[in-house]
Chain A
Amino acid sequence: MKILYFAWLRTKIGVATETVDLPAEVRDVGALVEWLKTRSPKHADALANSTVVKVAVNQEHVPYDHPVGPADEVALFPPVTGG
């Protein structure tokens, strides 16, 4: 699975993208965020407060109960501040 990070999630984790092998038990966005926290202390720090971690699957905003699979492009980012 391809993961993308933006804004302060990118700077805290230290990479803009990474490719991960998803464990079979990770089937939705909430489980994915919890699993990503275990990858490094930087991940754990950046993802600590899930209320400010928004998620898009295949470039659409989704809630934490949205399903995810190995072929998905998943982006994690803070609340958007455009305009």
Chain B
Amino acid sequence: MTVKVQSEDFDVGAELAAMTGGKTGIGGVTLFVGLVRDMAGGESVSAMTLEHYPGMTERQLEAIEAEARARWPLDDALIIHRYGRLEPGDRIVLVATASAHREAAFESCHFLIDWLKTKAPFWKMEATPDGERWVEAKESDDEAAARWAKSP
């Protein structure tokens, strides 16, 4: 169970290898990788800057990871979230879950990214041709997180 909040990029293959190396009880791993898109709300985005609340970010990510482990039988879980200035195509976030069976890996990974979006204290600012603007929270993200309110 690992949470990393960092400005540097991450290597998905290396993280997968580190997570599964020597652990032959793992039957499947689900990986979600979030990327910076070059369009938002019909406007082109040339860069994105992520601000966060050091201390609280780690606490919130550790809490939702603990929640996932309480709900599903996981062998391991990993969340890496970047901050700072990123460009289209850059990786922002990695969520990885490992379990003996695929259902637990798929569901817990989906849960983690949905909950992370509404609970982890990150804020995105986009650079567009009209200048910089703070990204507004989406109602659809709240609805996606609410689906997981009840334990499976």
Contacts and interface: CB of A to CB of B under 8 A. Distances in A.
Interface in A6-59: 6-8, 56, 59
B123 A7 contact: yes
Interface string B106-125: 00000001001111111111
Contact of A80 (B55, B59, B92, B123): B123
B27 interface: no
A77 B55 contact: no
Contacts of A60: 56, 59
Interface residues of B, number: 28
Interface of B: 34, 50-53, 55-56, 59-60, 81, 92-93, 113, 116-125, 134-137, 141
Interface residues of A, number: 16
B56 A59 contact: yes
B121 A82 contact: yes
A80 B117 contact: yes
Indicate the member of B113, B117, B121, B141 with the most A CB atoms within 10 Å.
Answer: B121
5 contacts: A6-B121, A56-B121, A77-B53, A80-B122, A83-B92
Nearest to B123: A7
